[in-house]
Amino acid sequence: MTSPGDATPVKPPPSFSPGSGRNASKSRYPDEHEPTVSIDAELAEARSGSSPTPPLSATTAELPIRSASPQSRSVRSSTPQLGRSSLGSPLEGRFGGSEDIRSLIIRAFSPTVAVYASDDTDELVRNKGFKGGFWELIRPYGETVPGKVIIRDSIGSSRAWEDYGVRFVDFKGLGRAAAGRDPERGSRLAQIEEVLDQQLGSAEGSLGHPVPSKEVLGFPATTPLTKLFLRQLLSATPAAPHETFGHPVASVIAISSRNEAPLETLRQLYAESTTGDKRLPDWVNQEYLRYYVLVHDEERDDITESTKLYDQMKRHFGLHCHLLRLRSSQCVVTDDDSVQVPHCEWLSPQEHLSGVGEAETLVDLGADGTPYLFDSDVSAIQSFIRELIVQSVIPFMENRVAVWNDQVASRRRGISGRFMTISRRWAGFGSSSKSGIGGPGGGNSGNYDTEQHFYLPDTPEAILRKMADFAFMLRDWKLASSTYEMIRPDYQNDKAWKYHAGAHEMCVVSMLLNPLAMSSKIKLEDVDRMVENGCYSYLTRCEDATHALRCLALAVELLKSRGGSATESAAKWAMRVMDFGLVGSIGHILFMERVAACYASKTPAGGAKWGARRRKAGMWSILAAEQWLKAGHPTLASACFEEAEHLYADVLDADGVFPMPEIQTFVDNLRHAVKVEYLQARGFEAHAEPAAEDPLGTEEISEKLDKRNHRRSLIGLPGQLNAGNLMNVGARDPEDQPNDDFERA
């Protein structure tokens, strides 16, 4: 989905969109066009947290595009089988806030598509103002595919997804980023912290913005900062051998109509990407889809020529081709049909810090910072991406999963496979015992390269992992979790610890994401044990703090979204994150907020008064407020504080006074400090124009300050000593005793 914070994302082109599907998806964010331009993008998201779920009636098929491809439009999507989509996610509505997070996590694991463009294509695109070439042009549009995407799972039922997307990566950068894979440990976490800090700085800088107002009643709202943190964390990990989410599922090979020898160039690009020195590292499976794109220059070249060439391409390379018609001149804001290019949602921390996404903060729009595109170009790109995904990438992935499931996984699941595994494990011999006999632990498969720490891509272990990842990206969580479950012991046997950790992590995630397993009781102990194993392997055996943190953070969020007693488990893991010291100071406070949110989302069981965790949530909120204040962010502190008051409202007496005097003193002091600093941070402007726009209810606060005096009015009630009536003993102890220090004795 287009992040609502991205100021003005693709406006549905007025001339092209007669009731298209994209309109429907846009209506999710009704308050998108609020006139708060100075608010940072991320912070604006808070208010859309309660966005209504999109109507299911949004149709997929018709898109307002000028498609040059003569292929018949999406055969499958023209008959949308919405059979199972009513199952949508049973969580919707029940836990409004967590649905966001689930979607965020799901979208974080999107298929990766590498982009490899010829020099002339990059040249053409560079003229349009995109310095990074073709990849940079299409990247923001890949993150959301307009309309629905229908995916068939392993048992043949289909399901439509509104928020599908792919991640375009630069082919040239793909291997290299992975090669320089060992920067000093934790630096990536430090980068995340830095991004958060930057974000906070810019948020505080823009003065007088309304604080991320969390919903008051539907408490478990997620602060935009937490979302930013999660997003950063999830995009911080580059392609690695032990998980294939970063490996390309497909690669787009692009040439332009300016090319002199188009077919030869395509061949050459293919060869370079497969065998040449630009090829991907050994641990990447080379069997990915190739997709050929011809970029036609509308202004300089002849369309008949290009069509002819395109037909030729199809003859040579098969059906995975596309003719993309773009105008070659640069679009400026003053042009009639200019559309701002949306910002990438999934920028890695490095990119954030190097300022890729920072163009938005420039005041002079229309400067080189914010690129614009012609309306026609945008719709052409979108239709290209939709065709790429719906007609090529997803069928390819479905096909691979089916084949692997058939050839590799079912053999493992079958009786002989079990026998083989067992014999390998116990006897130390097996079908593939190249080195297994003398191996420690009695029989590893020998497929694991202990020198370089990876499996070659054609070994069953690697293929099963890839299949599970594909199933995960196709959102078939049932198959994914069962596959992860199946390969976990193999990795343990081989002492492939990173693989081991990754399989545990993803097993938990897919198990918790599976909406069908909601009703059937997942054993929380199993989940806990797997998280424990996963993060132990990451942290202690591999010293990979980033992945460990990712594992724990995902577990926290997903357990929290489960509700019930899982929330306590979530809170426990969140505390564990702080305990391990995986996060910096800001991250620490964020996790304190998460603990509070976890406890707050535990609702009382069946209308009973007990079972909630309001006091715990309130305590963590107060402590988080104190920490925010210490860190110098009074606005956030006051937000936390306000939240705590709402939480405590239920458990304290009507006058909101803590029964314990020391807490009361502390809270009073904190309240005062927060108020003072908050007003100072805003330059006392709140005094000048008092209650009009002050969103924090400081009036309410000041009223509460003198509430203490009222305590005395409660004294007089006579207490009953006859303890028969338990409910009736409302009398407080006399307060007029001079010394309050009885607890110090």
Partner 1 sequence: MSYYFTILSPTDTPIFNIAFGTSKGGGDGIARFRFPDTAQYMNQFIIHSSLDILEEAQWTNGGMYLKHIDTYPPAAAYISAFLTPSGARFLLLHQPPLVPNPASSSGLGSSSLLGSSGNTVRGSSSTIATNPTGPQTEEAVRQFMNEVYESYVKTAMSPFYKQGMEICSPVFRTRVTAAGKKWL
Least distance in Å: CB of 558 to partner 1? 17
- Regarding 734 and contact with partner 1 (CB under 8 A), the answer is yes
Per residue in 459-473, is it b (16+ CB within 10 Å) or e — as a string? bbbbbbbbbbbbbbb
CB of 310 to partner 1, least distance (A): 58
The nearer residue to partner 1, 4 or 220, going by C-beta atoms, is 220
Q: Would you state the structure tokens that stand for residue 123, as one six-digit string? A: 């040249």
Residue 220 is a binding residue for partner 1 (CB under 8 A): no
Complex with partner 1: residue 341 or 644, whichever CB lies closer: 644
Determine, following the binding rule CB under 8 A, whether residue 464 of this chain makes contact with partner 1.
no
Q: Is 576 in the site for partner 1 (CB under 8 A)?
A: yes
Rounding to the nearest 10 degrees, give the CA dihedral for residues 62, 63, 68, 72: -30
Query: Exactly one of 662, 693, 699, 700 binds partner 1 (CB under 8 A); which one?
Result: 662
Decide: is 659 part of the binding site for partner 1 (CB under 8 A): yes
Q: Could you say whether residue 214 binds partner 1 (CB under 8 A)?
A: no
* Identified binder of partner 1 from the candidate list 317, 666, 668, 704, rule CB under 8 A: 666
φ, ψ (nearest 5 deg) of residue 13? -60, 125
Is there binding between residue 711 and partner 1 (CB under 8 A)? no
Nearest CA to 236 among 388, 349, 96?
Answer: 349
Q: Does 654 bind partner 1 (CB under 8 A)?
A: no
Q: Cα–Cα distance between 555 and 531 in angstroms, integer?
A: 7
For strands 248-256 and 112-117, give the pairing. parallel
- Residue 448: exposed, middle, or buried by beta-carbon count in 10 A (0-12, 13-18, 19+)? buried
What are the φ and ψ backbone dihedral angles of 372, each rounded to 5 degrees? -120, 160
Segment interacting with partner 1 (CB under 8 A) among 353-361, 442-450, 480-488, 568-576: 568-576
373 binds partner 1 (CB under 8 A): no
726 lies in the binding site for partner 1 (CB under 8 A): yes
Q: How far is the CB of 576 from partner 1 (least distance, A)?
A: 7
* Residue 732 touches partner 1, criterion: CB under 8 A: yes
The single residue among 665, 680, 702, 713 that binds partner 1, judged by CB under 8 A, is 665
Toward partner 1, which CB reaches closer, 373 or 624?
624
Specify burial of residue 214 (Cβ count, 10 A radius: 0-12, 13-18, 19+): buried
Q: Indicate whether 575 belongs to the interface with partner 1 (CB under 8 A).
A: yes
What is residue 160's three-state secondary structure?
strand
Q: Is 730 one of the binding residues for partner 1 (CB under 8 A)?
A: yes
Total residues belonging to the chain = 745
Print the binding letters for residues 336-365 with partner 1: x by CB under 8 A, - otherwise: ------------------------------
306-335 residues in contact with partner 1 (CB under 8 A) are: none
Site for partner 1 in 618-637 (CB under 8 A): 618-619, 622-623
Q: Which of 268, 658, 685, 704 binds partner 1 (CB under 8 A)?
A: 658
End-to-end alpha carbon distance in the chain: 60
The reply on whether position 614 binds partner 1 by CB under 8 A is: yes
Indicate whether 744 belongs to the interface with partner 1 (CB under 8 A).
yes
Distances (CA, A) of 128 to 166, 255, 437: 23, 16, 61
Query: What residue ranges in 257-349 does DSSP mark as E strands?
Result: 289-297, 321-326, 338-340
Q: Which residues, in sequence order, are bridge partners of residue 331?
A: 372
Q: Is 580 in the site for partner 1 (CB under 8 A)?
A: yes
Phi then psi for 156, rounded to 5 degrees? 95, 5
Cα dist from 126 to 8, 210, 462, whole Å: 23, 39, 39
Packed helices 477-494 and 460-473: angle between N→C axes, nearest 10 degrees? 150
The token duo for 239 is: 């392609």
- Decide: is 412 part of the binding site for partner 1 (CB under 8 A): no
Contact residue for partner 1 among 539, 577, 597, 686 (CB under 8 A): 539
- Give the residues lining the site for partner 1 (CB under 8 A): 528, 532, 535-536, 539-540, 572, 575-576, 578-580, 609-616, 618-619, 622-623, 651, 653, 658-660, 662-663, 665-666, 719-721, 723, 726, 729-734, 737, 742-745
